[in-house]
Amino acid sequence: EYVSGTGFPFIWRYYKPAAFALTFFYSIGFPILAIGLPIRKIFTMQTAAMIATGVETNSGTMTTMFMRSNFFRIGKRWNRLLERKVLLRIGLRNVWRRKFFFVFSTLCIVLSLAFSVATLLTNTSIYQTVNDFLDRGQWELFVQFIGHLDPPNVAQLQHIDGISAVDPYRKGFVKLGVADTVMPYRILGISTAKTLMGVDLIEGRFFSSDEAHEIILNEEMKNTLGLELGDLVEVSGKEQALPLTLVGTMNNLTGGQGLAPLLTTQSLLSKHPNFSGALLTVHDPIEAVEARLYHTDNVGYVVRKSQARETLHISMGKLSNFLYKYCTLSLVVSVLLIFINLYLNVIDRETEYAVLLANGFGKHEISRMISYEVLVMMIVVMLATVPLAVLFAKLICLRIAETAMNVHLHLQIRDFLIILLPGLLLMLGVTAYCVKVAMEVNVPTAIRNRILG
């Protein structure tokens, strides 16, 4: 009643079956799968494998048959190396004996670390895209006039000390019409020959001349109107309406703004040629030129490129904070997964270590054996995290492009090292702690529990 009484439209509730299906699968399907696979494993295990904890004796599996085939037979030289390196062989054997646990535990660690790296890569790419967008333009000062100036008044800017080049523009609001769809839009008319503005074209080409009936839209508006390159758009300005050909799409960080040739824009918006502002390059200190511009009668405000960069960085700050929150959450999950998986991997076999201690193996030798096993996991984590992080970052950038702007992916080693180095150091630290706990096992008690249960 309140909504209808205040004039707001009624909100229809729309439910997507796919969203419910995915929610059900993630919240219920995964736990059922996680419980069902071990139960199925128990029902298919041989009695000897159940009694001998941690030992898989099902020689009839496809994996064992594949391992025994000539195709997978280890070379003699490598085999002799493993015979001499007993501890290395035992460590690799432990990886193979618990291969499913190793694969899934490593996969969980890789996914969490890869997502953390991906958020940092995306954040770096966002700011680098902003910087590239500004650096592409050759202008140093952005000037907005008070009202619209005719060409003679704009030409007077060239006579101000310290100004090297003047690139005037004309901007205003128009309506874009395609079939029955009409959208309000802001258009910016720029010179095609000497423009100081950098245009980040995603597809298509630049204008052929200042009088061409052509237009470049940002990708969001192009998709909203359902246009393709070469389609005609009815552009209605204050003075007249013209059919313009879509010749390109651009990555425009300001949003809601398209480009058109300067003379075409002037004919749409005014009866006589005039300009809304200008882009400038200077050869004197920017502060001095800015002060001189403000002493003229027709200048409304002046923006330096550094100020524009700072403003865009601030506007991107909310998105960065969002990414950092996800990165923090992913890092917390990574720490928990590393500790839980490594702890279970070591502590679950403390009776096996007790048997080795009873058979003359020293604590230092068992520590090396465990270290070899963890080293394999660390190598797999590093090799798998890097490509997955790049893939996740690319997917995030594509998602941002659907709602905001096109983000060009920039890879920096720093973003990988910030996550991977602490992660690997944490794995070493957790391993050292687990080894310390495993070495404190009571050998007689552990062996008695293994024999008598």
pLDDT at 198: 77
DSSP string, 275-310: EEEEEEEESS-HHHHHHHHHTSSSEEEEEEHHHHHH
Residue 55 lies in a domain: yes
Last residue of a domain, one of 61, 83, 98: 61
Q: What is the largest CA-CA distance in the chain?
A: 102
30, 61, 92 — which closes off a domain? 61
Same domain, 337 and 231: no
DSSP 93-105: HHHHHTHHHHHHH
pLDDT tens digits for range 128-140: 888 888 888 788 8
Check if the beta carbon of residue 138 is closer than 8 Å to that of residue 198.
yes
**Alpha carbon distances (Å) from 87 to 93, 106, 339, 373, 374:** 10, 22, 24, 10, 13
The verdict on 212 and 274 lying in the same domain is yes
Same domain flag for 33 and 116:
no
Q: Show which of 267, 282, 297 is a domain's final residue.
A: 282
Query: Model confidence over 217-239: pLDDT tens digits?
Result: 887 788 888 888 888 888 888 87
Which one-letter amino acid corresponds to residue 328? Answer: T
- 372 and 425 in one domain? yes
User: How many folded domains does the chain comprise?
Assistant: 3
Position 291 scores a pLDDT of 86
**Does 113 map to a domain?**
yes
Q: Are residues 440 and 342 in the same domain?
A: yes
User: Contact 381/334 with Cβ under 8 angstroms?
Assistant: no
Supply the Cα-derived Rg of the chain in whole angstroms: 33
Note down the domain range covering 106: 75-131+316-452
- For the entire predicted model, the pTM comes to 0.70
Residues 325 and 445 in one domain: yes
Give the ranges where 348-362 is alpha helix by DSSP (H): 350-358
pLDDT of 387: 92
pLDDT at position 199: 80
Residue that the structure tokens 């439209």 belong to: 9
> Given this model, what pLDDT does residue 166 score?
85
The DSSP string of 39-108 is HHHHHHS-HHHHHSTT----TTSHHHHHHHSGGGPPPHHHHHHHHH-HHHHHHHHHHHHTHHHHHHHHHH
| 331 and 246 belong to one structural domain | no
Residues 447 and 333 in one domain: yes
Q: What is the CATH number of the domain that holds 223?
A: 2.40.40
The token pair at 208 is 């052929």
d(CA 74, CA 111): 31
Q: Are 395 and 348 contained in the same domain?
A: yes
* CA triple 86-88-92, angle to 5 deg: 115
d(CA 360, CA 444): 14
118 and 228 fall within a common domain: no
User: Same domain for 191 and 244?
Assistant: yes
Unique residue bearing structure tokens 């003679």 = 152
User: Is there a domain that residue 69 lies in?
Assistant: no
Please check whether residues 222 and 111 belong to one and the same domain: no
Would residue 179 be called left, alpha or beta, if left means φ above 0 and alpha means ψ between -120 and 50 degrees?
Answer: left
Low-confidence ranges of the chain (pLDDT < 70): 1-15, 30, 47-97, 252-255, 359, 361, 403-404, 441-443, 446-453
Whether 187 is covered by a domain: the verdict is yes
**Sole residue written with tokens 């959450």:** 329
Q: In this structure, are residues 396 and 118 in contact, taking their beta carbons and an 8 Å threshold?
A: yes
C-alpha angle 351/86/453, rounded to 5°?
15
Q: Is residue 295 part of a domain?
A: no
Within a domain: 67: no
CB count, 10 Å around CB of 71? 7
Beta carbons of 24 and 16 less than 8 angstroms apart: no
Q: Is residue 415 one of the residues assigned to a domain? A: yes
